[in-house]
Structure 1
Amino acid sequence: MSAPPPATPHVAAAPGGRPRGLGRWQRLPIVQRLVLAVAVTMSVVLSGATGLVYWRVQHALDEQLDADLATYNHDLLNDLHAGRKLGGPDGSAYQILDSHGRIVEASSLVRSKQLLSPADIASVTHGATIRRDIGGLLPLDPHTLRIKAQQVQLPERRRVIAVAALRRGHRDEALRELLAQLAIAAGLTLIAASYVGYRTARAALDPVERYRRHAASLADGAYGLRLPVPEDRDDELTRLGHTLNHMLASLEAAAERERRFLADASHELRTPLSLLRAELDVALHRPRSTTEL
């Protein structure tokens, strides 16, 4: 017997058939919807721009750091082959490991710290070159390094693993400073864009609010009302105002025709009703027989 098909997930809908989230969105005031739309759009744009700037700066810093590391690694290998004393510029470090991963020689910065994992040592022993970072951008760590490790054959045909390392402190500090500045700039830009969007939406919808107040006065019984439509421009709201004024004029004309009809009808009915009332008054003035009536 086959298993029943899995239930199809569905999105909860409002009573009107729309998704509940969409219904809540449409119940918000127009100004709030416009401001939220501007804020979300600006957030996406700012996130993309921030990511692009950060990636470009990081790429440039990494290229410079890799170039410095390649130069230091070249000098370190030359010193090893020549049998010279190992050293390097400020911020550099090195480790010389045997084929079993034991530290044979190291600079003071990394003398007690193993820079390569067992898996790295196995890879380098089989001819691979390891390039990686030690430590992350966050949290703050003064001993972050970028290393390059490869196997070297010395003149006495002994094989060792040479690990060249450079500190990443200046690079990481620059990136952290860049992130902070980008976050501040993006936040201020988002606030400014939201404020401008709010003021623009309010200015655009102020005529609609004035129309609403005047329409409320009309509903309260005001007569001869016209909406204040500016004559010096022609946009969607002014055309709406002219259309509403034309509608108000048509409604007033219809109401006037109705009043005239009622007045004429009451005048036409007043004379026969007066005669009928006079005859009834005379008939009821004293008792009369059926024949007299």
Structure 2
Amino acid sequence: MKGRRFLSSVRARATLGATVVVAVALVAAGIAVLLSLRDNLADRADAQADSAGRQVGAQIARGTPYPRLRLPDGSDHPVQVVDRDGRVLAVSEDLERISGTGVPGVTPVEEPGADRDNESDADDPETGELGDVTRHSSGRATVDGDEAAYRFAEVEVTDSRGETVLVYAGAPLETQQDAVRIAATVMLIGLPVLLLVVGGVTWLVTRRALRPVEDIRREMAAITASEDLSRRVPEPDTGDEVASLARTTNRTLAALEASVDRQRRFVADASHELRSPIASLRTQLEVGAAHPELLDVPGAVEDTVRLQQLATDLLLLARLDAGERPGRTRIDLGELVRAEAGGRRSGDRVEVLVEAEEGVELTGSRGQLARLVTNLLDNARRHARSRITVTVRAEGGRALLAVTDDGEGVPVAERERIFERFVRLDDARSRDEGGAGLGLAIARDVARRHGGDLTVTAAPEGAGDDPSRGARFELWLPLDG
């Protein structure tokens, strides 16, 4: 369990991973170095054996009798001369045993006339030929009681009598073996030390690198415990991924704080808005129960309708906040606007003029878009003096729905605030009667859920940003295709 908890740490995994990678790299490099060192020293031994063999072969080629050959010291370069039949013709002094040459004998054979001095015989002036080194082999030799490993070179020579003999000359491998052994020992001792250094440095570096992460975690734990969303995690000035994580975390906390504050305001405002019609309805019912002749039935019905509309608005906002996706119904925007505007003509105190292009179609929720149009028309009716103009057209790959009234307009400073929930302007639009301040908020939420937006400006007849000649609400939605 302890080991599992230890490996669950990023620092531990990073340290272990770095150590393992370095260990594998060092072992591979060490093996490569040892093999290269061994091969280089073996090549040097081959070169020494070649030189010793050629020196002896040159004497044989000049006609020096085998018993008179000047052979190198046996412990440095043991030499064995044999003929094609495997008979030993000459060996180094004190050579007691040899292996690796293919001929185990170390006692020269006696040849008739072997004591003859070929170099002084005038009737036999011919000389032999020194051939090439034909192969190399590894073996062992015992000289004067000391056994050692050698590298042997095989040199082919033709003597003065025309016979081909083989000269085996050895070079000691003790230097090679000692060098490889020392190098391996140094590596075996240095590898653990180096791995400890790598592990320690990685542990310290990751600790320093992850310290801001731990600070972020500690602050997030404190925020969770205190439920204080106004706090923020520390942002290091390193400019790396950890700093980006801290900035993203703080942006998330800010968005969460704003969402919670908005939710709290929403609950408080909704409670306030619901309290008034409920209290009024209760009062009327209580009076009616005590004095039936005083019961204001129209007023009770009006309060009930207002309460029903408010509940409907609150439920729609709750669904939008929950991320409800709009439907995929194909809608003719002009037809939808004409239907909503025509259904409200009777009894209206202002004229509603609809100018809609044909074929402005889009995809979405018909119910939500109808509610959007209704809210815009209701808002315009409450504030228009005599006329409302509704325009529908396609422009730049988007559908434009513009609702323009000739009322007092919206002050520039209030043009974003009116889309907040439960906001009703008291000055410029003081004739707002009965609304809870949710219509425009719902309209913008629906617009953005459909990939569009809703804004307000001064009516075109107004001078610049002067709102005194009316308000123009513009809804932009993406078209199909």
Max radius of gyration: which structure?
A: 2
| Stretch of structure 1 that moved more, 257-266 or 29-38 | 29-38
Take 1:129 and 1:271, find their aligned partners in 2: how far apart are those partners? 115
Specify which of 108, 113, 120 is matched with residue 98 of structure 2: 113
Contact 1:133–1:145 (8 Å) recurs in 2: yes
Normalised by the length of structure 1, the TM-score is: 0.68
**For 1:50 and 1:66, how far apart are their aligned partners in 2?**
24
SS in 1 for 2:153: strand
Partner AA of 1:241 in structure 2: A
The structure richer in helix per residue is: 1
Which SS does the other structure have where 1:152 is aligned?
Answer: strand
In the TM superposition, 1:46-61 aligns within 5 A as 46-47=26-27, 49-51=29-31, 53-61=33-41
Q: Paired residues, what number? A: 251
* Contact residue 31 and residue 202 of structure 1 kept, 8 A: yes
Structure 2 residue 268 is the aligned partner of structure 1 residue 263 = yes
Q: 3-state SS of the aligned residue for 1:220? A: helix
2:81 alignment partner in structure 1? 96
Structure 1 distance, partners of 2:133, 2:85, is 15
> How big is each residue's C-alpha offset from its partner over 1:190-241, in whole Å with a ceiling of 9 and x where there is no partner?
33223322332232222223222322333335212210223x4433222321
- 1:227 aligns to 2:207 (yes or no): no
What is the Cα deviation at residue 56 of structure 1? 4.9
> 1:153: how far off?
3.1
The answer (yes or no) to whether the contact 1:42–1:190 under 8 Å persists in 2 is yes
Match of 1:242 among 241, 247, 268: 247
Secondary structure of 2:193's counterpart equals helix
Q: 2:160 aligns with which of 148, 155, 161?
A: 155
SS state at 1:112 partner: strand
| Contact 2:77–2:171 (Cα < 8 Å) also in 1 | yes
Larger RCO (alpha carbons 8 Å, 6+ apart): 1
Task: From the two aligned structures, give the one with the greater strand fraction.
Answer: 2
| Cα distance between partner residues in 2 of 1:112 and 1:150 | 20
| Structure 2: 5+ residue stretches without partners | 1-6, 104-131, 141-145, 296-481
Aligned-pair distance for 1:247? 1.9
Question: Which letter does structure 1 place at the counterpart of 2:52?
Answer: Y
CA distance in 2, matches of 1:244, 1:159: 89
Measure, in 1, the Cα distance between the counterparts of 2:147 and 2:214.
60
| Residues 101, 152 of structure 2: 8 Å contact kept | no
Is the Cα contact below 8 Å between 1:96 and 1:161 reproduced in 2?
Answer: yes
Counterparts of 2:173 and 2:243 in 1: how far apart (Å)? 63
Q: Distance in 1 between matches of 2:94 and 2:174?
A: 14
Q: CA deviation at 1:144?
A: 0.9
Gaps of 5+ in 1: 1-26, 119-126, 136-140
Cα deviation digits, residues 86-142 of structure 1 (max 9, x gap): 431342211222332243443366433343237xxxxxxxx972212226xxxxx95
Which amino acid counterpart does residue 94 of structure 1 have in structure 2?
A: V
* Residue from 180, 192, 210 that aligns with 2:215: 210
Partners of 2:100 and 2:137 within 8 A in 1: no
Task: State the partner residue of 1:82.
Answer: 64
* Alpha-carbon separation, structure 1, partners of 2:158 and 2:244: 87
Give the match's secondary structure for 1:227. coil
The structural deviation recorded for 1:150 is: 3.0
Q: Following TM superposition, by how much is the alpha carbon of 1:177 offset from its aligned partner in structure 2, in angstroms?
A: 0.9
- Distance in 1 (CA, whole Å) between partners of 2:44 and 2:101 is 23
Residue of structure 2 in register with 1:14 after alignment = none
Change (3 A) 1:263 1:114: closer
Deviation at 1:175, TM superposition (A): 1.6
Task: Please tell me whether the aligned partners of residues 95 and 111 of structure 1 are also in contact (alpha carbons under 8 angstroms).
Answer: no
The letter of the residue matching 2:56 is L
Q: Which moved more, 1:44-53 or 1:272-281?
A: 272-281
Aligned to 1:68: 48
Structure 1 residues 237, 220: CA separation in 2 closer, same or farther (over 3 Å shift)?
same
In structure 2, the CA distance between the partners of 1:259 and 1:279, relative to structure 1 (3 Å rule), is same
User: In the TM superposition, what whole-angstrom CA distance separates every residue of 1:141-170 from its partner, at most 9, and x where no partner exists?
Assistant: 952111112343333444433211122112
Aligned to 1:174: 179
TM-score norm. by structure 2 comes to: 0.44
1:205 to 1:107, Cα distance in 2 relative to 1, 3 A: same
Q: Percent identity?
A: 27
What amino acid is the match of 2:22? M
CA distance in 2, matches of 1:142, 1:30: 57
Deviation at 1:54, TM superposition (A): 3.5
